[in-house]
Amino acid sequence: MLKNILAITGKPGLYKLVSRGNNMLIVESLVDGKRMPTYARDKIVALSDVSMFTDADDIALSEVLTNAGKKEGLKVVAMDVKKVSNAELQAWFDKVLPNWDRDRVYPSDIRKLIQWYNILINAGITDFTVEEEAEEEAK
């Protein structure tokens, strides 16, 4: 599911890929449902391409979101990410991903993760697997 969910630099929230046009993509906001074009000058990243640093290897965002979903029971994270302290963010993330790299993952990264998780849950997206992985498991 995360292959068609996009983050666009400079624009808040997450977007679902709707269509492709000439030199542009048509995306729909998961927050308010508005559609808009994005062009080659916009930096667009699929959530399936994002990973988090751990002490060993990087771990795919899909696994981190799945762990967060298990911890939260597929409900929105209750803490206010704008007001919560860095220590509270790190304590929450310790429960989600115990072996995260404390030197390379910043509190702002954890805040962004929680915001993305909440957006996905509010949009009704609870399957955080990447389509390619799901197809391989089916075979």
pTM of the predicted model as reported, rounded to 2 decimal places = 0.87
Q: Which CATH architecture has domain 50-132?
A: Orthogonal Bundle (1.10)
pLDDT for res 127: 84
Phi, psi (rounded to 5 degrees) for 40: -60, -25
Question: How sure is the predictor about 40, in pLDDT bands with cuts at 50, 70 and 90?
Answer: confident
> Which CATH number, 3.40.50.300, 3.40.50.2020, 2.40.37.10, 2.30.30.730, labels domain 2-47?
2.30.30.730
Q: Which of 16, 27, 25, 3 is nearest to 124 (CA)?
A: 16
pLDDT tens-digit map of 59-103: 999 999 999 999 999 999 988 989 999 999 999 999 999 999 999
pLDDT tens-digit map of 11-39: 999 999 999 988 899 999 999 999 999 99
| Segments making up each domain of the chain, as ranges | 2-47, 50-132
Give the pLDDT mean for 109-127.
92
Report the alpha-carbon distance of residue 114 to residue 76 in Å, rounded: 9
